[in-house]
Amino acid sequence: MNSLAANIRKNTTKGQLSTIRNNGEVPAIIYGGKDQNLKISISKKLLKVLLDKENFLSNIITLNVEGKTQNVLPREIKYHILSDEPTHIDFLRVLPGVSIKIEVPVNFINHEKSPGLKRGGVLNIVRRKVELKCPSEKIPESLTIDLEGVDIGESFKISSVKLDADVIPTIQGRDFVIATLAAPTVMKEPEKPSEADAVDGEEPVEGADAAAVTDGDKTSTDGDKGEKKDGDDKKPAEKKQVEEKKK
Summarize pLDDT for 225-245 with one digit per residue, the tens.
444 444 444 444 444 444 444
90, containing H or E segment: strand 86-93
The two beta strands, 61-65 and 68-79, are: antiparallel
Q: What is the pLDDT of residues 173-230, one digit of tens each?
A: 999 999 999 998 764 455 666 555 544 545 544 444 444 334 444 444 444 444 444 4
Residue 104, pLDDT above cutoff 80: yes
**CATH code reported for the domain at 100-182:** 2.170.120.20
Q: Where are the domains of the chain?
A: 2-95, 100-182, 195-238
Cross-strand partners of 109: 146
Asked if domains 2-95 and 100-182 share a fold, the reply is: no
Q: Work out whether strand 68-79 and strand 86-93 pair parallel, antiparallel, or are unpaired.
A: antiparallel
pLDDT band per the 50, 70, 90 thresholds, residue 5: very high
Tell me how far apart the alpha carbons of residues 18 and 87 are, in angstroms, rounded to a whole number: 10
Per-residue pLDDT at 33:
82
Whether the Cβ atoms of residue 44 and residue 24 lie closer than 8 Å to each other: yes
Q: Please compute, for residue 56, the number of CA atoms within 13 A of its CA located in the half-sphere on the CB side.
A: 17
Strand partners, 64: 5, 69
Which CATH class name applies to 2-95?
Answer: mainly beta
Query: What is the pTM assigned to this prediction?
Result: 0.62
